[in-house]
């Protein structure tokens, strides 16, 4: 197996700064956890798929740091990212007498990370949390930056908090067991960083897609590191998304509508984002912000990652109307006006509204 070094990316947020450790076989390495606050109890939150693969490694890395390490396993899947399952984390904490120093470890993908982060933000008004992301999507995006949430039947990630972790541990070895469909979904969030911030990264992705799909460690290390660097740069300037941070939602306005419209868990988050990026790029093109060649280039890259480039039909009688209805619930909406992340020339994003009629045209052109 290829050997890669350990990289550290800093999220610079003053007193709430933390680092992202990126490398192979980090979970069981005690040194990674040295800077964490001392506490007598910890709680590992995971699920039945991930825990059998990695909880023992994580426990070995934490050996001797805590008197007792509790565990709670949540049901697996986006459809379980809700109040009822969140409550089971609080039940475990309270029934075990966990105090306000208890450290939570989120071991899993973005669903586990978002729910554990929200639990940590709320339990006793805030306890430390460490993100240990085991999907590519979680390593390049959801574990970093402190967005935590659960879904509401009327909208995705609608209930949540900004709450930064103390540490993020991206162990590339965990990606070996990830199903290919999930790897591709993670690549959607990797790809998004190119059009919004770094065309050189887009060039690199074009030349490295085969290596990424083959899970070559050095390629994965670069993809995770560069993605985290770009996210760190954005989050450090706009932690609470008052402006710039919204660009990280490129493809998400259409993507969230797809996820909610199909029913959570039917399309993966990354798949919705992939088709959503094509739609947002097409809208950018029709607004004269970027040329058709760029839309084609981005679409080809998304297809090579094994991702959908067309959105699903959500309503056979008025598909565009259904997309618009769902998109109005988006958190970027202001006064019922949908705001889109658009590409304003390669490597630069802008957030703005667009005429409904034009959005309808784009949806009609981009759905099958």
- Interacting residues with ligand NAD (CB under 6 A): 47, 49-50, 53, 76, 78, 81, 108-112, 114, 134-135, 137-138, 141-142, 145, 147, 157, 174, 177-178, 182, 185, 269-270
Residue 256 among the catalytic residues: yes
Candidate list 81, 147, 286, 331, residue with the active-site label: 147
Exposed/middle/buried for residue 205 (C-beta within 10 Å: 0-12, 13-18, 19+) = buried
Closest of 113, 116, 157 to residue 272, by C-alpha: 157
**Residue 269 interacts with which of ligand GLY, ligand NAD, none, CB < 5 to 8 Å by class:** ligand NAD
**Residue 135 interacts with which of ligand NAD, ligand GLY, none, CB < 5 to 8 Å by class:** ligand NAD
Coil vs helix vs strand at 72: strand
Is 339 a binding residue for ligand GLY by CB under 6 A? The answer is no
Residue 166 among the catalytic residues: no
Among positions 59, 147, 256, 286, the unique one binding ligand GLY when judged by CB under 6 A: 147
Looking at residue 25, what DSSP letter applies? S
Task: Please identify, using beta-carbon distances, which residue of 72 and 342 lies nearer to ligand GLY.
Answer: 342
Structure tokens belonging to residue 259: 């996820």
Select the span of 46-54, 55-63, 105-113, 140-148 touching ligand GLY (CB under 6 A): 140-148
**Residue 249 interacts with which of ligand NAD, ligand GLY, none, CB < 5 to 8 Å by class:** ligand GLY
**Residue 255 interacts with which of ligand NAD, ligand GLY, none, CB < 5 to 8 Å by class:** none
Q: How far is the CB of 230 from ligand NAD (least distance, A)?
A: 13
CA dist., res. 149 & res. 163, Å (int):
10
CA dist., res. 59 & res. 68, Å (int):
11
Residue 125 among the catalytic residues: yes
Task: Please identify, using beta-carbon distances, which residue of 240 and 352 lies nearer to ligand GLY.
Answer: 240
* Cα distances (angstroms) measured from residue 211 to each of 5, 222, 304: 18, 11, 12
Q: How far is the CB of 141 from ligand GLY (least distance, A)?
A: 5
Structure tokens belonging to residue 132: 């240990």
Task: Please identify, using beta-carbon distances, which residue of 35 and 243 lies nearer to ligand GLY.
Answer: 243
Residue 78 among the catalytic residues: no
Structure tokens belonging to residue 146: 């402190």
Q: Which neighbouring-strand residues pair with 159? A: 150
Looking at residue 140, what DSSP letter applies? I
Among positions 103, 105, 112, 141, the unique one binding ligand GLY when judged by CB under 6 A: 141
Q: What region, left, alpha or beta, does residue 145 occupy, with left being phi > 0 and alpha being psi -120 to 50 degrees?
A: left
Report the interhelical angle of 319-327 vs 252-262 (nearest 10°). Answer: 110
Candidate list 229, 241, 259, 282, residue with the active-site label: 241
Among positions 104, 248, 289, 359, the unique one binding ligand GLY when judged by CB under 6 A: 248
| Spacing of C-alpha 302 from chain mean position | 17
CA dist., res. 346 & res. 348, Å (int):
6
**Residue 245 interacts with which of ligand NAD, ligand GLY, none, CB < 5 to 8 Å by class:** ligand GLY
SS3 letters for 270-291? HHHHHHHHHHHHHHHHHCCCCC
Task: Please identify, using beta-carbon distances, which residue of 61 and 117 lies nearer to ligand GLY.
Answer: 117
Task: Please identify, using beta-carbon distances, which residue of 93 and 140 lies nearer to ligand NAD.
Answer: 140
CA dist., res. 287 & res. 291, Å (int):
10
CB atoms within 10 A of CB 40: 13
Candidate list 192, 252, 332, 339, residue with the active-site label: 252
**Residue 50 interacts with which of ligand NAD, ligand GLY, none, CB < 5 to 8 Å by class:** ligand NAD
103-108 and 129-133 strand pairing: parallel
Is 245 a binding residue for ligand GLY by CB under 6 A? The answer is yes
Residue 189 among the catalytic residues: yes
Among positions 135, 139, 184, 249, the unique one binding ligand GLY when judged by CB under 6 A: 249
Catalytic residues: 125, 147, 189, 231, 241, 245, 249, 252, 256, 269
- Contact positions toward ligand GLY, by CB under 6 A? 141, 145, 147, 245, 248-249
């Amino acid at each position: 197996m290829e050997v890669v070094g350990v990289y550290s990316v800093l999220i610079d947020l003053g007193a709430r700064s933390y680092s992202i450790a990126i490398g192979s076989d980090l979970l069981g390495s005690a040194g990674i956890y040295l800077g964490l606050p001392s506490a007598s109890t910890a709680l590992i939150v995971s699920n039945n798929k991930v825990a059998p693969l990695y909880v023992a490694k994580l426990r070995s890395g934490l050996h001797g740091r805590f008197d007792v390490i509790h565990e709670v396993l949540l049901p697996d899947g986006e459809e379980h990212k809700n109040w009822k399952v969140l409550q089971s984390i609080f039940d475990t904490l309270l029934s075990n007498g966990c105090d306000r120093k208890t450290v939570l470890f989120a071991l899993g993908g973005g669903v586990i990370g978002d729910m554990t982060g929200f639990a940590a933000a709320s339990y006793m008004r805030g306890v430390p949390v460490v993100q240990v992301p085991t999907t590519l999507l979680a390593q390049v995006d959801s574990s970093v930056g402190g967005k935590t949430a659960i879904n509401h039947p009327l909208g995705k990630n609608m209930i949540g908090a900004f709450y930064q972790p103390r540490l993020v541990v991206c162990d590339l070895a965990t990606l070996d067991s990830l199903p290919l469909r999930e790897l591709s979904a993670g690549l959607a969030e990797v790809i998004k960083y190119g059009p919004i911030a770094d065309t050189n990264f887009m060039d690199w992705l074009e030349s490295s897609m085969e290596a990424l799909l083959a899970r070559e460690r050095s390629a994965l290390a670069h993809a995770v590191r560069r993605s985290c660097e770009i996210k760190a740069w954005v989050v450090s300037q706009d932690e609470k998304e008052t402006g710039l941070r919204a660009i990280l939602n490129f493809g998400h306005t259409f993507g969230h509508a797809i996820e909610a419209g199909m029913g959570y868990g039917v399309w993966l988050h990354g798949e919705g984002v992939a088709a959503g990026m094509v739609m947002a790029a097409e809208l950018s093109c029709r607004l004269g912000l970027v040329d058709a060649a760029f839309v084609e280039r981005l679409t080809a890259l998304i297809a090579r990652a094994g991702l959908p480039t067309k959105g699903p039909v959500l309503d056979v009688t008025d598909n565009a109307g259904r997309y618009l209805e769902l998109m109005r619930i988006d958190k970027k909406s202001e006064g019922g006006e949908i705001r889109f992340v658009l590409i304003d020339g390669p490597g630069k994003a802008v957030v703005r509204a667009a005429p409904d009629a034009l959005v309808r045209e784009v949806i009609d052109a981009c759905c099958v």
